[in-house]
Amino acid sequence: MRAMVLKQPAPVESSPLTLEEVPEPQPGPGEIVIAISVCGVCRTDLHLVEGELAPVRERVIPGHQVVGRVLRRGRAAERFPEGARVGVTWLHRTCGGCTHCREGRENLCRAASFTGWHHDGGYADAIRVPEAFAYPIPEIFDDVDAAPLLCAGVIGFRALRRSGIAPGGRLGLYGFGSSAHIALQLARHWDCEVFVCTRGDEHRQLARRLGARWTGGAQEAPPEPLDAAILFAPAGELVPSALRALRPGGTLACAGIYMSAVPDLSYAEHLFEERSLTSVTAHTRRDAEQLLALAAEIPLRPETTRFPLERANEALQQLKRDQINGSAVLTLGVA
């Protein structure tokens, strides 16, 4: 089968992913093999390709926003019939028995492993995953629209909950890529007023089209104090200004897996009056299930730009240059 393989992290401008023929995966007990139709392109993939996310294997196939159909089932894999349409997310497997898993916080499991990092991912014709970590895709979504929901959507959803935003509240979004443009739609569904701080006029135009009340530059102060904010950009230098924009009691949730250094914070200016700073770490299966159900109810519609599999390097290059409006999606089994 075809796959875009990363042998060694390097600047994405050097096109470090190479198109290769690799053996098709075979399912083990409780596993399924999925014939992939599409795979979303995530900023986490970019961090992996460029080495900001430290490699854990000599070579790996990136990608973790996968939609496809069950091709084969391993022994005791009975959850999905062959041909069923399913999705795959970043969370590949957890231990199921530690304190975090028992408490419903499996995203914090110390033995967790992740798709496209510890295990080969979706920049390929097929993928092998535990059936317990695959998800049925609501019929209302086609494959391309479903793909960004499986990470950008799930992380945006968890970030909204971690921020503590309430229906009707004032929410700030810092950075406006794939996850933020989905989080904005979720927040508008909850009647929140959304204020978007981001570089790039095209991103600000999309934010306004999706219902943002106000848009401004990345460091620009929103016109009103925020009840909550989410930092999607991997830019630690934005943390002080985002905290400063919060009302007393507000929370800033940092949603990235990687972030540049955070500058020194002033307790009085940035944290006093019970302002909170928190992070988002991966997601749980329950997050993915709830997000897919909510997205179908709205219904949520991601903005997508398609690339064929062999142009994965180009998709990541455009992502790095902030030239993707919404979400990039690699197409394999769809036109």
Contact predicate 43/62, CB 8 Å: no
Nearest to 88 by CA among 116, 68, 66: 66
Nearest to 254 by CA among 280, 276, 236: 280
Distance CA 182, CA 180 (A): 5
**331 band by pLDDT with thresholds 50, 70 and 90:** very high
Sign of torsion, CA 278 284 290 294? positive
Sign of torsion, CA 99 101 104 106? positive
- Name the 3-class secondary structure at 163: helix
Average pLDDT over residues 250-269: 96
Helix axes 178-189, 152-163, angle to 10 degrees: 50
pLDDT, the chain, mean: 97
For residue range 174-211, what is the model confidence (pLDDT) as tens digits? Answer: 999 999 999 999 999 999 999 999 998 999 999 999 99
Residue holding tokens 């990608």? Answer: 63
* pLDDT value of position 333: 79
Average pLDDT over residues 40-64: 96
Distance CA 46, CA 308 (A): 17
Domains of the chain: 2-150+282-331 (3.90.180.10), 153-279 (3.40.50.720)
Residue 271: pLDDT over 60 = yes
Report DSSP letters for 250-278, one per residue: EEEEE--S--PPPPP--IIIIITTT-EEE
Give the sheet arrangement for strand 214-216, strand by strand. 214-216, 193-197, 170-174, 226-231, 246-254, 276-279
Distance CA 235, CA 175 (A): 9
Average pLDDT over residues 52-72: 96
Tokens for 241, please give them. 């200004």
* pLDDT value of position 334: 66
| Separation of first and last alpha carbons in the chain | 18
Task: Using CA atoms of 155, 156, 162, 166 in order, give the dihedral in degrees to the nearest 10.
Answer: -150
Residue holding tokens 């009085």? Answer: 268
Tokens for 279, please give them. 């992070």
Residue 335: pLDDT over 90 = no
Residue holding tokens 């401008």? Answer: 13
